[in-house]
Amino acid sequence: MHSYTVIGASSASGFDERAVQIARRISVAGLAIVVIVFAATAVFGEVNWLSFAETLTYLIILGALTLSSFSRYRVKQTLSAALLGLFFAFWLFSLWQMSADMMSIEGFALALFIPMMVAMALGHRILFFLAPVQFILVTAAFQIYGPIFYSPELSTSSLFTLGGVHGALAAAVFFLLGLVQRERLKTDLRLIKAIEETERLASTDPLTGLLNRRAFMSALSGIAKNPGDFVITFIDLNNFKPLNDQYGHAAGDAVLCEVGKRLSRRPGIVFAARPGGDEFAILISAQALNQPIEAFMDSLHRAIAEDIAWGDGAISVGASIGYCDLLGAAENLSVCLSRADAAMRRAKIDGGGAARFDEGKDNMSMETELLVAAFPSALASGQIRAALQPIADARTNKIVAYELLARWDWAGLERQPGPGEFIPIAEKLGLLNSLLWQTLEEALTAAHLGEAKLAVNVSPGQLQSAAFLKTLCARLDACGAQPSQIILEVTEQVAFRNLDANVEVLTRAKELGMSVALDDFGTGYSSLSMLDALPLDKIKIDQSLVRLADKGSSASILKGAIELARQLGLTCCVEGVCTQEAANYVRSLGVDELQGFWIGRPAPAAAQRDAVKIAS
């Protein structure tokens, strides 16, 4: 695996940041002190060529340090070099002033003290090196300035003893400073190690040692800022759950570890992660591969699928791999992740192997995901609206009912999702009842139904949901409507599962005064026994039979269906009547009701009320 600094980066950069801060403080404060001291000397003392040279030297050193710290260029090295430069320059000018008899008593005291201040910011190695240097320089200073500072009569040996004692003390201070710095560095390093270890633990999956989801995402967003030729890959193991159940969790863990190892060993992998369960994710650098990406994916798939030793035998797992190119810019990251995921799910549906994201094949499932994510808030915020489509008496063309159809008014989307897309989603999310109550209330309050009934589509799941009929009646009551105004449209699905329970609910609905219609007749099994078993009032013949009516056999099915309804004494409605000809044709076959664009298209509930007003 390529090394990638996901962890430790923050602590190392924290160390560098400290050097930058110290360098900035020293350089700015140093420049200020130098300027102030020079100005004070000019005002209160005497400025000579030596003080000029000294000030200029300090300004150059501190200026270089300022530049380095603000441009962040080699700050640590420049800081050490600048402090050493200041140390030696200060000593040089001090000794020069002493020997030229240009030093004041206060200046001599400062000359012993200031180098110590400068050295405090240096590292321990330089301090250990400077300790003997400081000893020599202090001793030398006493030889030169001792007669002036103490007494001109001091003997050479006394001067030497005096200088030596001061020098030794100064060297000892340097040495102690060095020890302190060394201990501090050790503590800092221990701290960094502890932070790195904590970061590592927080970012790795303890079982496989790969990155966990959080670290994978942060590493990905880091890399997405500087895009290259990268490929995001999601891997999902096939049949992992049954394997876990059959062989136990220890075997499952062993499989995950082994797959993790096999992934890490592949060339071209920038980092690998186990975001959770039996899912793995890798980022691949296409440039680092010595083969086309398709060949790489095939070999990756084979490598994962190879037998894994377990006990005396071997276990093998399959894998579904989905991959896509990493698009530049961090904001595209979620798109890339959904793409790789969609491709992976397609691979899974195809029985395993690897699949590259394909706009045509995978966008559909991504759109579905988008709808699933958006539907609950769309319903809550009133984006799901009621539309009504008229159903007319075939003989008089009088509107006898309206069918309640749901519409998703999604302003943000170019294409409005149709009920064929979002009704299954609402069902999956358990929101079909909420959708019905909302659209029902809208239809009953916004539309003017008059004598016409209201047909509502009800799924088998809804029929079986607790207190469905009771709630429906309460909702109707709240809107001032009667159960006798309602037609429940059910499909033959109600006969496939829980037939007895469904029949019971429908019978109860009829007792309450509602009617029951069998929807989409002619599209499924349409068995006669089912027609007999369900307590029906009406059958609605599916529009596909009308559209194909001019084609031989379909026409006979249509005729047969209408005849069947008549024989069973059920009202017969034909859906999808789009033209006058179609209307005349189905009328001639003896149909009772017509529904379709020729009678009227589904329209918003409020528009239906306005249309009724204009007509009357």
Which residues sit at the interface with ligand C2E, rule CB under 6 A? 389, 404-406, 418-420, 423, 432, 439, 457, 459, 519-520, 543, 575-578, 595-597, 602
| Distance of alpha carbon 405 from alpha carbon 423, whole angstroms | 10
Is residue 205 part of the contact set for Ca ion (CB under 5 A)? Answer: no
Q: Residues of 209-243 as b/e, b for ≥16 C-beta within 10 angstroms?
A: ebbbeebbbebbeebbeeeeebbbbbbbbbebeeb
Distance of closest approach, residue 601 Cβ to ligand C2E, in angstroms: 7
| Distance of alpha carbon 543 from alpha carbon 213, whole angstroms | 49
Strands 453-457 and 486-490: parallel
Region binding Ca ion by CB under 5 A among candidate stretches 78-86, 178-186, 299-307, 567-575: 567-575
Of residues 472-491, those binding Ca ion (CB under 5 A): 489
Closer CB to Ca ion, 134 or 595, in the complex: 595
Q: Pick one of ligand C2E, Ca ion, none as the site partner of residue 181 (Cβ within 5 to 8 A by kind).
A: none
The residue among 170, 175, 108, 184 whose CA lies nearest residue 136 is 170
Closer CB to ligand C2E, 376 or 419, in the complex: 419
Closer CB to Ca ion, 57 or 544, in the complex: 544
- Token couple for 447: 């539309």
One residue of 68, 203, 212, 457 binding Ca ion per CB under 5 A: 457
Amino acid at 234: F
Closer CB to ligand C2E, 347 or 454, in the complex: 454
Q: Pick one of Ca ion, ligand C2E, none as the site partner of residue 596 (Cβ within 5 to 8 A by kind).
A: ligand C2E
The residue among 371, 409, 377 whose CA lies nearest residue 606 is 409
**How far, rounded to the nearest angstrom, does the alpha carbon of residue 307 sit from its chain's CA centroid?**
34
Number of residues that bind Ca ion (CB under 5 A): 5
Question: Which residues, other chains included, contact 335 with Cβ-Cβ below 8 Å and sequence gap of 6+?
Answer: 327
- DSSP H or E stretch at residue 282: strand 279-285
Distance of closest approach, residue 4 Cβ to ligand C2E, in angstroms: 49
Contact 419, 405 (CB under 8 A): yes
Distance of closest approach, residue 457 Cβ to Ca ion, in angstroms: 5
Closer CB to Ca ion, 320 or 457, in the complex: 457
| Distance of alpha carbon 51 from alpha carbon 98, whole angstroms | 13
Closer CB to ligand C2E, 85 or 417, in the complex: 417
| Distance of alpha carbon 361 from alpha carbon 367, whole angstroms | 11
Distance of closest approach, residue 484 Cβ to ligand C2E, in angstroms: 21
Of residues 126-185, those binding Ca ion (CB under 5 A): none
Closer CB to ligand C2E, 124 or 540, in the complex: 540
- Token couple for 299: 């070999």
One residue of 205, 519, 592, 593 binding Ca ion per CB under 5 A: 519
Distance of closest approach, residue 419 Cβ to ligand C2E, in angstroms: 3
Contact 489, 540 (CB under 8 A): yes
Distance of closest approach, residue 457 Cβ to ligand C2E, in angstroms: 4
Q: 395 by DSSP, 3-state: which?
A: coil
Q: Pick one of Ca ion, ligand C2E, none as the site partner of residue 578 (Cβ within 5 to 8 A by kind).
A: ligand C2E
Distance of closest approach, residue 365 Cβ to ligand C2E, in angstroms: 20
Closer CB to Ca ion, 520 or 593, in the complex: 520
Amino acid at 371: L
Amino acid at 412: G
- CA-CA-CA-CA torsion sign (219, 221, 226, 232): positive
Is residue 520 part of the contact set for Ca ion (CB under 5 A)? Answer: yes
Is residue 492 part of the contact set for Ca ion (CB under 5 A)? Answer: no
In degrees and rounded to multiples of 5, residue 303 shows phi and psi of -65, -40
Q: Pick one of ligand C2E, Ca ion, none as the site partner of residue 597 (Cβ within 5 to 8 A by kind).
A: ligand C2E
Distance of closest approach, residue 422 Cβ to ligand C2E, in angstroms: 9
| Residues paired with residue 247 on neighbouring β-strands, in sequence order | none
Distance of closest approach, residue 341 Cβ to ligand C2E, in angstroms: 28
Q: Which parts of this chain interact with Ca ion (CB under 5 A)?
A: 457, 489, 519-520, 575
